[in-house]
Amino acid sequence: MTHAHLALPSLLFVTMIAAGPGCSDDDRCGPSSDTVVRVIDGDTIELSGGETVRLLMIDTPETTGGATDCYGQEAKQYLTTTLITQEVDLAYDVVCEDQYGRLLAYVSLNGRELNTVMVERGYACVLHIPPNGDDREEEFETLEYVARTNGVGMWGACQEVTCD
């Protein structure tokens, strides 16, 4: 008697362990692309499939729940103008969803990642919640430092930056 019949279950187990709890396989987390139907605020969008997506590695001044933080409306308006009715690509990191059930993703339009654009243009601060973004933290921190140093966006317009 051979042990070949044990190989398949063992292989499946190893494959499941290797995939782990994270989202390196984009299809496992959510759609790899979809159309944006609503912008909730400067860091959260809704897709045509009904999913809510929180952009990874960024935080924008608040505009929801009655908040009117400085530059929050500008961040929301920029995303609305840029993304509404557009098909975007989504890339996921280690953790697929936050505690509110929102997908966590890097969102790109025509090959340009909006997460980095929001920081570059001073619409967003860096928000690193490990393990997501561990491999990109320095990149995002550098983008924020340059925007802050040059007074770009909220860094030049607001007396107090609330996502700082």
- Counted domains in the chain: 1
Return the percentage of the chain with pLDDT > 70, whole number. 84
144 within domain boundaries: yes
Range of the domain at 39: 22-157
Answer whether residue 8 is part of any domain: no
| Residue 94 Cα distances to 23, 26, 77, 112, 135, angstroms | 5, 10, 29, 21, 11
Structural domain includes residue 117: yes
Q: pTM of the full predicted structure?
A: 0.83
Within a domain: 136:
yes
Residue 55 lies in a domain: yes
Q: Give the model confidence (pLDDT) of 14-50 as tens digits.
A: 333 333 444 444 578 999 999 999 999 999 999 999 9
CB 45 within 8 A of CB 83: yes
Helices (H), 2-159: 4-19, 26-29, 72-83, 114-120, 137-149, 154-157
Supply the CATH number for residue 83's domain.
Answer: 2.40.50.90
Instruction: Please report whether residue 59 resides in a domain.
Output: yes
d(CA 16, CA 139): 31
In the block, residue with structure tokens 């292989």: 11
Indicate the burial class of 39 (C-beta count within 10 angstroms; 0-12, 13-18, 19 or more): buried
Distance, CA of 88 to CA of 125 (rounded, Å): 22
CB 80 within 8 A of CB 114: no
CB atoms within 10 A of CB 159: 5
pLDDT tens digits along 41-66 = 999 999 999 999 999 999 999 988 88
Continuous segment of H or E residues that includes residue 125: strand 125-126
Mean pLDDT value across the chain: 87
Residue 162 to residue 151: CA distance in whole angstroms: 15
**Domain-embedded: residue 10:** no
End-to-end CA distance of the chain: 65
6 in a structural domain = no
